[in-house]
């Protein structure tokens, strides 16, 4: 596993973004782990987070695209942080864009904030985590309504590696249905590999009991 992936897993733990216990996802699934990017709350954290996203984006998509689109609300700081990191790490100026919940009819008008989207723009969508692919169904029509636009990919922080609406993973379903490439900074398999029965800061985060709960979750919701 690449060093930046290991660092990112520990970073999520330190920021309390990656938690283990009893949770319910947006899609209604009871899960023993939860990723909440709302717990990135400081400038230092966002700077680091943007760097991890930038590395994942460059490895999967390269930098030959125009706009990083972050869906409202959590995608807004993600798109800003990653665009800054791409500028700093790779000296590439990528525009950022997000949508509003309501269309604004004065000042900076319209459904978008940040950069406008124009014909021919190649767009990478940035999100926190995808469980069942419901968010992308809302996001893509907004992007495509802006003109002859080419959405080329989706990047998330963690691939939960579970079924979407059918038998395949949510990211695989998105790739097939929308023709988007997808990637994640890390997968849950990599998270478990790095934390299972290993001490981190004096504590074993994933012990045998938690590992059994994670395995049981994937028995029910994992890709067959």
The 3-state secondary structure of 162-222 reads EECCCCCEHHHHHHHHHCCEEEEEEEHHHHHHHHECCEECCEECECHHHHHHHHHHHHHHE
At residue 145, φ and ψ (nearest 5 deg) are: -70, -10
* Active site positions, annotated: 104, 106
pLDDT tens for each residue of 56-96: 999 999 999 999 999 988 899 999 999 999 999 999 999 99
Give CA–CA dist 106/208, Å, rounded.
57
Contact criterion met (CB below 8 Å) for 190 and 158: no
Integer angstrom CA distances of residue 15 from 38, 39, 49: 10, 6, 11
Reported as half-sphere exposure (CB side, CA atoms, 13 A), residue 205 has a value of: 19
Q: Using 50, 70 and 90 to split pLDDT, how confident is the model at 125?
A: very high
pLDDT at residue 28, as a whole number? 83
Q: Where are the alpha helices (DSSP H) in 29-157?
A: 43-61, 75-90, 134-144
């Amino acid at each position: 596993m690449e060093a930046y992936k290991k660092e990112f897993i520990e970073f999520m733990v330190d920021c309390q973004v990656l938690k283990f216990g009893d949770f319910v996802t947006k899609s209604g699934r009871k899960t023993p782990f939860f990723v909440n990017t709302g717990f990135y709350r400081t400038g230092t954290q966002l700077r680091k987070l943007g760097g991890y996203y930038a590395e994942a984006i460059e490895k999967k998509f390269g930098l030959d695209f125009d706009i990083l689109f972050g869906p409202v609300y959590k995608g807004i700081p993600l798109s800003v942080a990653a665009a800054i990191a791409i500028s700093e790490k790779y000296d590439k100026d990528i525009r950022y864009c997000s949508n509003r919940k309501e269309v604004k009819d004065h000042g900076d008008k319209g459904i978008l904030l940040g950069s406008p989207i124009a014909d021919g723009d190649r767009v990478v969508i940035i999100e926190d985590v995808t469980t069942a692919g419901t968010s992308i169904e809302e996001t893509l029509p907004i992007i495509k309504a802006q003109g002859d636009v080419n959405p080329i990919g989706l990047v998330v922080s963690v691939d939960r590696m579970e079924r979407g609406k059918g038998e395949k993973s949510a990211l695989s379903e998105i790739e097939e249905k929308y023709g988007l490439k997808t990637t994640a900074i890390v997968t849950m398999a990599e998270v478990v590999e790095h934390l299972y029965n290993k001490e981190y800061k004096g504590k074993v985060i994933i012990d045998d009991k938690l590992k059994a709960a994670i395995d049981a979750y994937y028995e029910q919701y994992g890709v067959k």
